[in-house]
Amino acid sequence: MSGATTAVTRPAVVHRYLAGVEGGHHVPTNGPFVLVCNHSSFADHFVVDALLDLLRDDPSFYFLTKAEAFVHPLRGRWTTSVGGIPVDRDQPGRELLASVERVFSGGSTLVVYPEGTRGPGWPLLPFKDGAFRFAVRAGVPVIPVGMWGVQHVLPKGANLPRRGATARVVFGPPLEVDPTLPRPQRVAALGKAAREALESLVESARNPTPERDRQAAQELADLAEATVETMLSRTDTQPAARRMRQARLMLDLADLTGPGNIDARATRARLTGLRMMDAALPRRLAMMPKLRREAQRVVDADPDHLMANYLLGRWHVSAPRPLGGKREQGLRHLRHVARIGAHDTRYPMAYAEALMKTGNDAAAAEELRGILNAPAPDARTADRKRRAADHYTRLTADGGLTATHVR
């Protein structure tokens, strides 16, 4: 039931019903926390689910909902499948506390609507303190998120979302209160801080500005790039297909929030390149023009963009001449990134291998020496250094280059 539901709702939320997302970097990728949201529509659940699926390694979350939702057998089973935890609002029992403890021990997210029921969207209804009691008891962070427009996407009483209606979402930083306060005072302080935060976040969601949209688009582009780097780290615990999907949807959100972000365009081109590497030869040849167009658009807009120059350089070095590949042009792009991106050995390595491919072994060996002298803070860099050492050994073997040639 859950899989069938989210297969429909997650892409629909991102592509049809969101107009912008801010503050996604505030959401932890791992570990338990309480997410407190304003509540104005049944669709709030689906918006939260779609965004946690993008921003978290483990997208599972649980939310407190009225016990009456579990009375009907089919509806109760569906609500349980999508993470609902029944609450007797008149007399919460020990079962509720045990369920919440299982959520936190499993490293998942607990979503709580402190208003307790759906409101009009604005102003906020009075808060209940359950979310803050759970957070203080378990010692987990509380992260606020304000939403606006969801009440127009799926108003009270509606069975289907309205066409053309969109929502905006703004995540805030974790709430901070004095940890030395006694527990009751901490609960009260968290509740007060949460209300102030949600009022501010909902107001921000109601009144976007071009500058905030540009900043949010950049944050989403950075998150997408970080997701790709995590996927390639060789220590990632998530399937590569999931990471590719997360990154792609983050870029879609960046385009919705602040169209035209250069880094989003570059990461999209990078995703094209990664898909191309895994494709069969006919598919790879068909994708090559798209990669070139995407990378060239970024370089035209920002001639010093590292990733776009890197992609375009590798494209020209690798592409057959009948498809437009020009090795000299590729070498120029890679020489440029090797200089301005020397802090990252992937760029000098790409230039060195291009030089070897074009027969300029002396210059290649010089680049390889710089890679061998660079630190290796992670597994990918260590592998790159080993590959550079193998290349350097072959180039300087007996009968090959001498130290004088590469000085």
Outline where DSSP puts E strands in 194-274: none
For residue 6, the model assigns a pLDDT of: 80
Q: Which is it for strands 142-148 and 167-171: parallel, antiparallel or unpaired?
A: antiparallel
Q: pLDDT tens digits for the chain (407 residues)?
A: 667 778 888 899 999 999 999 999 999 999 999 999 999 998 999 999 999 999 999 878 898 887 666 767 777 787 777 778 877 766 666 888 888 999 999 999 999 999 988 888 889 999 999 899 999 999 999 999 999 999 999 998 888 899 999 999 999 999 999 989 999 999 999 999 999 999 999 999 999 999 999 999 999 999 999 999 999 998 899 999 999 999 999 999 999 999 999 999 999 999 999 999 989 999 998 999 999 999 999 999 999 999 999 999 999 999 989 889 999 999 999 999 999 999 999 999 999 999 999 999 999 999 999 999 999 888 889 999 999 999 999 998 854 555 444 44
User: Which residue from 266, 268, 264, 222 is spatially nearest to 244, judged by alpha carbons?
Assistant: 268
* Residues β-bridged to residue 109: 33, 61
**CA end-to-end span of the chain:** 66
Torsions phi, psi for 21 (to 5 deg)? -135, 130
Q: Which CATH class is domain 2-207?
A: alpha beta
Counting runs of H as helices and runs of E as strands, what totals does the chain give?
Answer: 16, 7
Asked whether the beta carbons of 186 and 205 are under 8 A apart, the reply is: no
Q: Which is it for strands 33-37 and 167-171: parallel, antiparallel or unpaired?
A: unpaired
In order of 291, 340, 351, the CA distances from 303 in angstroms are 17, 12, 17
For residue 404, the model assigns a pLDDT of: 46
The secondary structure of residue 325, as a DSSP letter, is -
Burial class (CB within 10 angstroms; exposed 0-12, middle 13-18, buried 19+) of 404: exposed
d(CA 160, CA 153): 9
For residue 83, the model assigns a pLDDT of: 75
The secondary structure of residue 82, as a DSSP letter, is T
For residue 405, the model assigns a pLDDT of: 47
CA dihedral 234, 238, 239, 245 (to 10 degrees): -110
113's tokens? 């609507």
Number of Cα atoms under 13 Å in the Cβ half of residue 78: 8
Torsions phi, psi for 142 (to 5 deg)? -115, 125
Asked whether the beta carbons of 50 and 14 are under 8 A apart, the reply is: yes
* Cβ neighbour number for residue 164 with a 10 Å cutoff: 9
Domain edges within the chain? 2-207
User: Which residue from 70, 120, 116, 75 is spatially nearest to 95, judged by alpha carbons?
Assistant: 70
d(CA 40, CA 151): 5
d(CA 344, CA 157): 55
CA dihedral 155, 20, 264, 285 (to 10 degrees): 20
For residue 85, the model assigns a pLDDT of: 85
391's tokens? 């290349």
d(CA 238, CA 249): 16
d(CA 119, CA 2): 26
Name residue, tokens 């590729």: 330
d(CA 299, CA 308): 6
